Amino acid sequence: MSFFGSAKEFFGLGPFNEDDPYFDEVQYDERENRREDTARPSRTSEYGGEERYRSSATRDFAERAPKSYTPQVVSTAPRNYNDAKDIGEPFRDGDAVIMELTDLDAHDAKRIVDFAAGLCFALRGNMYNLSRGIETRRRVFAIVPENARLTEVELQHTARLR
């Protein structure tokens, strides 16, 4: 058979050869699809007790319930970006941090604010620009941990902006 004839037959456009073994219908015996129920082997620990596994993804709701608290407030005035650890460590420990960025140049101040925004995102905190809306030349920001009971006005009083 020619190439074109084979191609037409392949795509179903030409006649098929009746002697072709591919088109023979083979009769199969029908068999019942039965699944035998087998008992699963029990799992036990080598240490004698039952093996317990608890995924961190399936925590109890009570463990995830928000607990409101009043954190300590830490004030810091970083001199450059290398002082960012003075902001990150207290915030990671659950304290609110007030940052006085007035004496920093614009580039370092932006980097510190970006770092603090990343902390807030990672630890689900909030960030406030305490000097916004107040007649002052100071640049003061605060980051507050999740579920902390601190208002922006309380933070402004602590930073001596009001």
User: 36-48: per-residue pLDDT in tens?
Assistant: 666 666 666 565 5
What is the predicted pLDDT for the residue at 117? Answer: 96
Give the pLDDT confidence score for residue 17 in this predicted structure. 61
Residue 63 pLDDT exceeds 70: no
pLDDT tens for residues 68-86? 778 899 999 999 999 999 9
Element (H, E) at 122: helix 106-123
**CATH architecture entry for 68-158:** 2-Layer Sandwich (3.30)
Q: For position 155, what pLDDT does the model report?
A: 94
Asked if residue 151 has pLDDT above 80, the reply is yes
Asked if 19 contacts 9 with a C-beta cutoff of 8 angstroms, the reply is: no
Beta pairing, strands 73-76 & 96-100: parallel
Asked whether the predicted pLDDT for residue 33 surpasses 70, the reply is no
